[in-house]
Amino acid sequence: MKNFEFHNPTKIIFGKDALNKIAIELREYGKSCLLVIGQKSARGSGAYDRVVKVLKEGGINFWTLEGVQSNPLLDKVQEGIEIVRKNRIEMLLALGGGSSMDTAKAISCGVKLNGDVWEVFEGKKEIKEALPVFCIPTLAASGSEMNGFMVITNMEKGLKLAAGSPHLFPKVSFLNPELTFSVPENYTAFGGVDAICHLLEPYFNGPYPKTPVQDEIAEGLIRVIMETTESSMKNPKDYDSRASLMWAATLALNGLTRAGVGDHPFPVHLIEHSLSAIYNIPHGQGLAALLPGWMNWKAEEKDEPQKIAQLGKRCFGIEKGLDDKMAAKETAKSFGLWLNKINCPKCLSEISIPSADHEKIAENALFQARVWGIEDIYNKKTILKILSFCQ
Amino acid sequence: MKNFEFHNPTKIIFGKDALNKIAIELREYGKSCLLVIGQKSARGSGAYDRVVKVLKEGGINFWTLEGVQSNPLLDKVQEGIEIVRKNRIEMLLALGGGSSMDTAKAISCGVKLNGDVWEVFEGKKEIKEALPVFCIPTLAASGSEMNGFMVITNMEKGLKLAAGSPHLFPKVSFLNPELTFSVPENYTAFGGVDAICHLLEPYFNGPYPKTPVQDEIAEGLIRVIMETTESSMKNPKDYDSRASLMWAATLALNGLTRAGVGDHPFPVHLIEHSLSAIYNIPHGQGLAALLPGWMNWKAEEKDEPQKIAQLGKRCFGIEKGLDDKMAAKETAKSFGLWLNKINCPKCLSEISIPSADHEKIAENALFQARVWGIEDIYNKKTILKILSFCQ
């Protein structure tokens, strides 16, 4: 196991009555908040009205920032920063998916910065403080409700970049699985794929230090996410399925399975951010199109088939006797079939992205790789090679 | 899944250089600490000298409270409280096993109380504040380094009682697996059994709500603990074994696998505390002598064999086709054999506790059950019944 630091101070309130505790928790930190919501679903599902009622009854003053879209935009962050500054708002409360939560986080630190918050994403400025953030996720996917990361898209520059800070951990997140009952089938699947990808990227961190604790937790969460993604798609109002999917997705990126595996970039996320930025496709859909190809690239090109084989044997019923190379190939194939089963693409051609676009995608991803300081490993040639495996 | 709150603010610094970061972390909270250590091993292993050096170089004033024994005593807690008060010490730093950590925690809250700290354990007083506690565990077992619990023995009253509070979470725990290299074979085994018991008690919380996330994590940790307990006993200086055992034991009682399974007492711990209080045996040894019998009681008497069967099929290679009753029986048997394999007892007679003592043990355990408010479920008759299965 590699040396690590693990510190996750976010408090989770989970269950059917989680929203009832919003006001009591927020009052520990202030009296006013900006409620950040998406385009339609928060109002449509009745979640917005429930939250508003709780805030009013609890004596919390609030303003609403509406219209955050998936692949959330810098413009909306800047709009939020202005509202917060103008009204001297003390806290952020996000209601929605990763987009609303990440927008709230970007506002929370942007308010405290001199200059443009985008500089944080380009690695030019450090986050030294932030307003308290609270989250009410309505989608099991990003894990943003229990981590210090955010991803924002700058349309003008055509870039979707991630940034993180210990200051961005939500103080409290309120998880009511019932809020995910209305998530449509396709987004339920995209969310499951996103959570699995959060687990796989650290898991496939070759040359693989011995990390049986992290492996067991990641493999267990993957099995649960696969099962409950399917059962949630079939029975959208099955509380137990939605609850396990939601908690598994939260744990999938709360630091637990990353701690001890050593430094690891998120190359699939890196490349997917470029797909989202260029084609404006849902994040989970882009990840699905990349994952099996990335596994094959890992096993064949990088010659690191061991953990892919282990995953297959423990999560996909791949025959225990197979050698690593063969088992890894079978794993990528099985995973692709599962993606198709939940109506997700297993390669780029299935979402009509042609080989001719690889150059453009690689250029975009390279910019991000530079910001992350990993362009020595993920240079243009490597990214193009991975894309060829994903075609 | 049941509703839950999860909040674990302890920061973990894990690895070979963890101790180098002690001073920098402590300085965030104060300038003076009481260093709480055990009877011999901290000095014998050189750990004490390393910590003293770091404290001196880091400009932290310190006093040492020495001689904490396993099944740590109230007297030592009171001695520590006096030293802290007299010298206006600001923090507690525990170096040792659960005993040192729990003693430090008891001092940290005892200092802030008017009156006797024992009243906290008897449920007569509430913990409202505590000095900051930091831990350097030297044994993979109690999980005290990442939770808000403590267990203290009152010799005068012949009672070993537990108490907990959110104020008792250590601020930072420094985990260097090398500090466990010198743990002898028997205590390595006892520690592994303790950690497994922390996982099993919430896992066997009949009538078993659907908790696949918690199940997978608990089962995965149990597999790792079994494997690394054995490999650490064989190769005491194998870093990877010690590291995985240590991290698994920490996660086994940090709240993660308990969250969502519903209210659950710790009946095996309850009865074991009486064994420790009466016979002064190591905690893990007492747990081992109770666990297989408790499983059989659960399966037969309580008619809740399902999860015991699941455990057996997922962790002990019990044949998948067996019905639950039969599989549960086989699981208890296999677990007993594994306990013997690591030189632990699988029943009370193997540590020379006769049936004639059940009455005395049950009386003692009953007092604790009253303090925990669970004497309606664990009344004397039930405790006697469990003991009969454990004989």
Check residue A78 and give its pLDDT. Answer: 97
Min CA distance, A389 vs chain B (Å)?
32
Q: Which residues of B237-276 are buried (b: 16+ CB within 10 A; e: fewer)?
A: ebbbbbbbbbbbbbbbbbbbbbbbbbeebbbbbbbbbbbb
Please choose, from the candidates A196, A253, A199, the residue with its C-alpha nearest in 3D space to the C-alpha of residue A226: A196
Residue B119, both tokens: 């009243």
Is pLDDT of B372 > 90? Answer: no
Instruction: Report CB contact under 8 Å: A210, B244.
Output: yes
pLDDT band per the 50, 70, 90 thresholds, residue B125: very high
Check residue A167 and give its pLDDT. Answer: 98
Sequence letter at residue A62: F
Check residue B172 and give its pLDDT. Answer: 98
Dihedral of alpha carbons A225, A231, A234, A238, sign: negative
User: Looking at the complex, does the CB of residue A2 fall below 8 Å from at least one CB of chain B?
Assistant: yes
C-alpha dihedral (A201, A203, A205, A206), degrees to nearest 10: -130
Report the alpha-carbon distance of residue B133 to residue B127 in Å, rounded: 14
User: Looking at the complex, does the CB of residue A247 fall below 8 Å from at least one CB of chain B?
Assistant: yes
First vs last C-alpha separation in chain A: 35
**Strand-strand pairing, B149-154 and B159-164:** antiparallel
Residue in A16, A210, A221 nearest the CB of B213? A221
Chain B residues 191-220 within an 8 A CB cutoff of chain A: 210-213, 216-217, 219-220
Is pLDDT of A44 > 90? Answer: no
SS3 category, A11: strand
User: Looking at the complex, does the CB of residue B223 fall below 8 Å from at least one CB of chain A?
Assistant: yes
Phi, psi of B324 (to 5 degrees): -60, -45
Percentage of chain A beyond pLDDT 90 is: 94
Dihedral of alpha carbons B190, B195, B198, B200, sign: negative
Instruction: Report CB contact under 8 Å: A5, B16.
Output: no
Chain B's closest residue to A220, CA to CA, is: B216
**Strand-strand pairing, A61-65 and A32-37:** parallel
The answer to whether the beta carbons of residues A340 and A346 sit under 8 Å apart is yes
Provide ipTM, 2 decimals.
0.97
Residue in B5, B211, B221 nearest the CB of A12? B5
Check residue A138 and give its pLDDT. Answer: 96
pLDDT band per the 50, 70, 90 thresholds, residue A150: very high
Nearby residues of B238 by Cβ (< 8 Å), 6 or more positions away = B231, B232
Instruction: Report CB contact under 8 Å: B14, A1.
Output: yes
Q: Which has the higher per-residue pLDDT, B314 or A41?
A: B314
Q: Which residues of A98-116 are buried (b: 16+ CB within 10 A; e: fewer)?
A: bbbbbbbbbbbbbbebeee
First vs last C-alpha separation in chain B: 35
Chain A's closest residue to B13, CA to CA, is: A5
Q: How many CB pairs under 8 A join A and B?
A: 117
Query: C-alpha angle B215/B221/B224, rounded to 5°?
Result: 140
User: Looking at the complex, does the CB of residue A9 fall below 8 Å from at least one CB of chain B?
Assistant: yes
Report the alpha-carbon distance of residue B70 to residue B81 in Å, rounded: 19
B223 contacts on A by Cβ (under 8 Å): 212, 216
User: Looking at the complex, does the CB of residue B320 fall below 8 Å from at least one CB of chain A?
Assistant: no
Report the alpha-carbon distance of residue A286 to residue A353 in Å, rounded: 10
Is pLDDT of A84 > 90? Answer: yes
Check residue A153 and give its pLDDT. Answer: 93
Q: What is the pLDDT of residues B315-364, one digit of tens each?
A: 999 999 999 999 999 999 999 999 999 999 999 999 999 999 999 999 99
**Cα A194 → chain centroid:** 6
Q: What is the pLDDT of residues A321-366, one digit of tens each?
A: 999 999 999 999 999 999 999 999 999 999 999 999 999 999 999 9
**Cα A347 → chain centroid:** 20
Chain A residues 122-181 within an 8 A CB cutoff of chain B: 177
Helix (H) or strand (E) holding B369: helix B358-372
Is pLDDT of B217 > 90? Answer: yes
Q: What is the pLDDT of residues A13-37, one digit of tens each?
A: 999 999 999 999 999 999 999 999 9
Please choose, from the candidates A25, A86, A266, A210, the residue with its C-alpha nearest in 3D space to the C-alpha of residue B242: A210
User: Looking at the complex, does the CB of residue A86 fall below 8 Å from at least one CB of chain B?
Assistant: no
The answer to whether the beta carbons of residues B277 and B121 sit under 8 Å apart is no
Check residue A198 and give its pLDDT. Answer: 98
Q: Give the mutation candidate from B5, B176, B213 for the A interface (greatest A CB count, under 10 A).
A: B213
Report the alpha-carbon distance of residue A147 to residue A170 in Å, rounded: 7
Q: Give the mutation candidate from B1, B215, B223, B232 for the A interface (greatest A CB count, under 10 A).
A: B1
Check residue B40 and give its pLDDT. Answer: 83
Min CA distance, A280 vs chain B (Å)?
32
Q: Which domains does chain B have, with CATH numbers?
A: 11-179 (3.40.50.1970), 183-390 (1.20.1090.10)
